[in-house]
A and B are shown apart, each in its own frame.
Chain A
């Protein structure tokens, strides 16, 4: 690299004594490395949650099975849901935000690189803390939405709920900081000429997701604090004898929980919006409408939360309001689906593995969307709520929506991350096997639910006549496992032996493809100026002249820092130390955090 002529202010490139690779990753503030850390961690927890799912399906494969007892079953389904949402779905999306967004907007890093590292370490420590509960045989067992009074000390006396409430609190802190970072990054660090309406759709969806993170997560933080204080300091928030109302928890939770659903799906929309134009060789159809519909989804997503509570007796006015608002949100979502189809219409479609995942996502997400509109209707929902029909619905939108899009995004961006292509032949086999396995698992659950099988019950009677459908669903899980194993194998094999990738192997349109694969630490030799929405289609030569041209003099990259990981220990310890039941113990973690924060503030960057 050209460090001989140009002085880059970063200790990493200085030829000091040999650095420990692990220490470098622990102290990194590079958005690309942090993105990879998030991605690898999320893939690990994807496997953990997959094992939990497999255990659930083995238990349910036949009626009156005794594989897992009811207590263990409660822990497994709670941790499956909690893990998939907070330790897989969100961090996988955040991994892609981290790696891709600064590149897409033509920036050298995020707005606050050390804060970014802090988010990751808090996330990691919080995740480990929550899963540590398994070693004590006390994993959370109140469901991922932890309805009161299941979370009270009266009905949840063990450590289970403590792990859940305190672990999620830590994860929430990380998410809020991530949201602040990405809103600021996207508003502030766009390359010259990158007007808002020239930003790639993935960046737009990251912006909306980040707005949802900073608005929804504080509500959840409050809700979790109330549960925590009820448990440790004997407050009365959800204690019915003292006038506490479990409905307050439901409202608070879903005020967070429904925006959370869009936090999970908007990144998927962003990924698909990048893949489909690239492999249709056409600009995205209705760009502006795609942006506005994303904004509408995020906005209306704040006004639909109580559709999760139709069975709680809110009365006809609330039921009608939330039925209507929920149906309205199907409009911008439908607009998106039609725009993706219109993008493909008349295009020269190339069915790469990434494109297969994107198109597969359109199909399965639409199925999940349709069943969503079904239980948006409150009378209909009374029939479906808490049955496997709901389970089928949200797996279609989250696995069939988010996870398929993430897999597609992985195939799409893998060459940029590693400089090597993933194996397309294996990838296509993987897609079909996973896609079939997914549908075999979850399609029967629609019938299982409509025929009356409740979710979250550890077994069912043979008299229900649901044994064969349940067995079919369980068989589907094993097909999915084969698909995921092929994906894991493809990642490991391709990272070492895949075909070497060029800068822009897919001939895609956006700025992340304007630099080397993988990009240098500083991303671009010079920040390009853009004049269009598809710079690599419209003005590739001028862009490349900057991004791959001579190095900009006096470039400043932030040095590695150990204060983020130091501070993260304090933040997570603050929550963990609640479990000592000594009122001042959390203050120890707080003091640690303050020491970290002060040193952080005075660290030269």
Chain B
């Protein structure tokens, strides 16, 4: 019918196939009706939300680029950026995405202690990244760059501030999940909760790759 992946199979088949699939994911809930695509509804919803987030960060990055080089007073990016330092913090954040993959994998395999360890690693690495950011912000403040100093300050702090806020939310979210895992409430059957937090975490990571490349490296 040429209407994409969702329209190809008959609804009847999907209906039967998916009762099992959804029931497995949401075991602690009563049986939910099957979905039309076979995908989990929370996951689809979260992807849609991330699509929206992409436009949010896309706008913020665009604003930075549009105003690049238009500050009428210093400090300018070349005066304050410390590329080696930010490279380290970028590496820390990227490694946290590896930790997400491992944590989810171990959780699904039922290896609770390793899952707990790697979830804690995401949190620690994320918090380390935030520490780097806090250091960077205070350093910039001491050399005279604030939100209101010039357009570089305004665009830089608002963009990286919103990104840092997203990382903070991710850290809090993962802390909650870690506690649940520790208390045995987050288990292989409902690993979807960690998977969605992981999706978010990867997304925030990818945004940072864009920021690091476009704002720091191409300065």
Contacts and interface: CB of A to CB of B under 8 A. Distances in A.
Interface stretch (B50-58, B115-123, B207-215): B50-58
A117 to B, nearest CB: 15
Contacts of B29: 556, 605
Contacts of B148: 233-236
A180 interface: yes
A293 interface: no
Given A184-B41, A243-B72, A556-B31, A233 B147 contact: yes
A554 B15 contact: no
B132 to A, nearest CB: 22
Given A188-B39, A215-B55, A252-B59, A225 B158 contact: yes
A550 interface: no
Contacts of B21: none
Given A237-B63, A243-B67, A529 B11 contact: yes
Contacts of B155: 237
A329 interface: no
Interface string B31-54: 111011101010011001101110
**Size range of the chain B interface in the assembly:** 35 or more
B11 A192 contact: yes
A9 B29 CA distance: 11
Interface string A180-207: 1101100111111111110000000000
B218 interface: no
Contact of A192 (B12, B37, B45, B153): B12
B172 interface: yes
B63 A188 contact: no
Interface stretch (A26-34, A216-224, A263-271, A432-440): A216-224
Contacts of A130: none
Contacts of A223: 59
Interface in A224-241: 225-226, 229, 233-237, 241
B45 A181 contact: yes
Interface string B114-158: 000000000000000000000000000000000110110111001
Contacts of A605: 29
B11 A194 contact: yes
Contact of B56 (A9, A197, A218, A252): A218
Contacts of A221: 56
Nearest to A195: B7
A236 B35 contact: no
A196 B53 contact: no
B155 to A, nearest CB: 8
Contacts of B45: 111-112, 180-181, 184
B6 A195 contact: yes
B176 A598 contact: yes
A192 B51 CA distance: 27
A222 B35 CA distance: 34
A176 interface: yes
19 contacts: A184-B48, A187-B37, A192-B15, A193-B10, A194-B36, A218-B52, A218-B56, A219-B55, A222-B63, A233-B148, A235-B153, A237-B67, A242-B71, A242-B151, A245-B67, A248-B63, A529-B11, A554-B31, A556-B30
Interface of A: 9, 108, 111-112, 176, 179-181, 183-184, 187-197, 214-219, 221-223, 225-226, 229, 233-237, 241-245, 248, 252, 527, 529-530, 554, 556, 594, 598, 601, 605
Interface of B: 1, 3-4, 6-7, 10-12, 14-15, 29-33, 35-37, 39, 41, 44-45, 48-49, 51-53, 55-56, 59-60, 63, 66-67, 70-73, 147-148, 150-151, 153-155, 158, 172, 176
